[in-house]
Structure 1
Amino acid sequence: MDFKIPFMSYRKIASIFSIILFVVSVLSLSFKGLSLGLDFSGGTLVEVKYEEAVELEDIRTVLNENGFDDIQVVNFGTVQDVLIKVADQDGNSSIGETVFNILQNNKLEGELKRIEFVGPQVGSELRDQGGLGMLVALFMILLYVAFRFQYKFALGAVTALAHDVVIILGLFSLFAWDFDLTVLAALLAVIGYSLNDTIVVSDRIRENFRIERDTSAEETVNLSINQTLGRTIITSFTTLLVLFALFIFGGELIRGFSLALIIGVLIGTYSSIYVVANILMSLSITQDDLAVPEPEGAEFDDMMP
């Protein structure tokens, strides 16, 4: 596919779009915060197995009427298995038995499969360790790209990854979607996916800067993005097909995971084209930045008979 799209002609528009999304995300995270799931906020998980499928709305209504407002009720594996998540209530570990008894007394009898309690302290540790893991990943990527390419590419790559992560978190905050460990795992996957796209585009930009000596930086970046665009479109499209299948048919438990990945693939594809290239153009990337250094003593080798 021979594309000739002048991407860099629209880089100012893309910059404004990215800045607006980033600022809105940061403001939402600052003032509204994330709607933390059971893994981070703490609470109780109850799994009940029924002989026949039951209406989840009936279970929600019964529990709401009995004072349990902050709950999640989903099918787990089959329509006969129901998973109930109840938010932490002052570290009360007996909520699971209370919830099960309420269901039994309201003609929603079933077999109790398990009760798990996650204390608020454990939830905060998971949150802190997950955030630390993400920061370590970004730092290691910065070091790798700086070593593999050049510091301007490293700044572009890390800026693109931070851009992707903050916008995903901002959307989860803005729409009050539950943020749990599966979404955190999706964020780490998005970092890897976006980095892969960024490396492909950056590698082509570097090679073209070394080959195309008579073209401007903007023309070289445009050429590089167009040369990798076919690969980017095919990769993103096939990935999105799988993710939409997971989102639609995968059930409630992995809906947040698949949603975060869908947003991440879309934003990551955009950032690998516009954010990285924008940073490189802003830092005035030139052929001299990417020139292959001559080995020491090369001038003397030319003088040898």
Structure 2
Amino acid sequence: MRLRLVPKDTKWDFFKTSTLTMGFSALLMVASLVLFFMQGLNYGIDFKGGTTIRTDSDISVDVGAYRDALSSLDLGDVSITEVFDPAIPDLHVTQIRIEAQEGDEAVTTDTIANIKSALQAYEPSIKFAAVESVGPKVSGELVWTAIEAVVAAILAVLFYIWLRFEWQFSVGAVAALVHDVVLTIGIFSMVQIKFDLAIIAALLTIVGYSLNDTVVVFDRVRENLRKFKKLSLKDVLNLSINETLSRTVMTSVTTLIALVAMFVLGGDVIRGFVFAMIWGVIVGTYSSVFIASAILLRLGVKRDWSKQNPEAGGQYADIDA
């Protein structure tokens, strides 16, 4: 017996409440922007500046013990990660990242000395291999580089979908991506989870995941536009979403199972990244069905794909990739 998360041959009308869902999404986007500008994000060391300390030890690293040893120093945002060095397999390496202290461009030498003393009190054999600082200027450059990466990804999607389908499909897909990114930034602003370069990687992954879902639906829409030329565009869109719904839900659920396991068992190092991915999978699945397709319905689309239309699509519009 095959497992089905969605009933076979569904005939749900996804546009019955499209005005309500679009309005709700627009309200969430506005709320996300308001939160971002009023409360901001809890930027990590990558964006605020700070100091990275690399330590070497002959015994196994206890990250919790290291964190407890440093807790009394009131250092603010501290990230402790065990690193495997393949060049020296018997050596236990730890990377400690400390945010820039208020009023200082980097962690002062006195603070570093206190850190060394606290860790050596716990582990006398510990060695400090390297100390590196990231100043505000470099952090500012990282912020702009991250913004450029997200914008470039969205523009690349716009260009690809335009060539693959028509400009109406492109607008719908990009609107869904912008929706997903804005809501993700909004939830991070609300819950104040640390926002660093790992979250930017999650945002780019969300863009790719949401695009994948959207392209699957749009491919079926294009096939059905050719097959059912007398059906209204709304009926074709409903038919296409229902036909791909089982695949969409199964992909999202199996992905979420893995992500939830990582969120619960993966520890603090990757928790922010996994949280962003979980949220992105949920809103990405939602936007593929309720945002991208709804916008396509409102913009309209060429119905007769057997004829060339120089004003719609591009030279690659009929290629099945």
TM-score (norm 2): 0.81
> Which among 32, 35, 39 is matched to residue 32 of structure 1?
39
> Which among 14, 18, 29 is matched to residue 7 of structure 1?
14
Contact between 1:33 and 1:173, CA under 8 Å: does it hold in 2?
yes
Residue 281 in 1 paired to residue 297 in 2? yes
Query: Displacement, 1:100?
Result: 2.0
Contact between 2:44 and 2:77, CA under 8 Å: does it hold in 1?
no
Cα distance in 1 for residues equivalent to 2:308 and 2:152? 31
Q: Which residue of 1 aligns with 2:145?
A: 129
Query: Displacement, 1:28?
Result: 1.0
Q: How does 1:263-302 map to 2 (within 5 A)?
A: 263-285=279-301, 287-288=303-304, 290=305, 292-293=307-308
Query: Displacement, 1:135?
Result: 0.9
Contact between 1:156 and 1:279, CA under 8 Å: does it hold in 2?
yes
Cα distance in 2 for residues equivalent to 1:91 and 1:155? 43
Residue type at the aligned position of 1:201:
V
Alignment RMSD (CA, Å): 2.5
Cα distance in 2 for residues equivalent to 1:141 and 1:52? 43
> Which among 41, 61, 68 is matched to residue 58 of structure 1?
68
Cα distance in 2 for residues equivalent to 1:151 and 1:51? 57
Cα distance in 2 for residues equivalent to 1:249 and 1:208? 43
Residue 198 in 1 paired to residue 214 in 2? yes
> Which among 150, 164, 172 is matched to residue 148 of structure 1?
164
Cα distance in 2 for residues equivalent to 1:180 and 1:57? 20
Residue 88 in 1 paired to residue 100 in 2? yes
Query: Displacement, 1:58?
Result: 2.9
Cα distance in 2 for residues equivalent to 1:146 and 1:138? 12
Q: Which residue of 1 aligns with 2:48?
A: 41
2:23 partner SS: helix
Query: Displacement, 1:93?
Result: 5.0
Q: How does 1:162-241 map to 2 (within 5 A)?
A: 162-241=178-257
Q: 1:104 to 1:147 in 2, by over 3 A?
A: closer
Moved over 6 A (4+): none
Query: Displacement, 1:29?
Result: 1.2
Consecutive unaligned residues in structure 2, runs of 5 or more: 1-7, 85-91, 311-321
Residue 118 in 1 paired to residue 123 in 2? no
Q: Which residue of 2 aligns with 1:71?
A: 77
Cα distance in 1 for residues equivalent to 2:136 and 2:154? 27
Cα distance in 1 for residues equivalent to 2:69 and 2:139? 26
Task: Report how many residues are paired.
Answer: 289
2:16 partner SS: helix
Residue type at the aligned position of 1:262:
I
Query: Displacement, 1:294?
Result: 8.3
Cα distance in 1 for residues equivalent to 2:39 and 2:82? 30
Q: Which residue of 1 aligns with 2:118?
A: 103
Residue type at the aligned position of 1:85:
R
Q: 1:92 to 1:214 in 2, by over 3 A?
A: closer
Q: 1:238 to 1:51 in 2, by over 3 A?
A: closer
2:17 partner SS: helix
- Provide, for residues 243-284 of structure 1, a one-character-per-residue CA deviation record: whole Å limited to 9, x for no partner: 122222222111111111111111101111111111012213
Q: Which residue of 2 aligns with 1:301?
A: none
Contact between 1:45 and 1:84, CA under 8 Å: does it hold in 2?
yes
> Which among 237, 245, 250 is matched to residue 266 of structure 2?
250
> Which among 19, 22, 26 is matched to residue 26 of structure 2?
19
Q: Which has the higher helix share?
A: 1
Contact between 2:44 and 2:195, CA under 8 Å: does it hold in 1?
yes
- Provide, for residues 162-212 of structure 1, a one-character-per-residue CA deviation record: whole Å limited to 9, x for no partner: 111111111111111111111101111111111111111111112212211
Residue type at the aligned position of 1:15:
M
Cα distance in 2 for residues equivalent to 1:227 and 1:99? 62
Q: Which residue of 2 aligns with 1:300?
A: none
1:4 partner SS: coil
Residue type at the aligned position of 1:63:
L
- Provide, for residues 16-63 of structure 1, a one-character-per-residue CA deviation record: whole Å limited to 9, x for no partner: 221121111111111121111111111012345576745466335311
TM-score (norm 1): 0.85
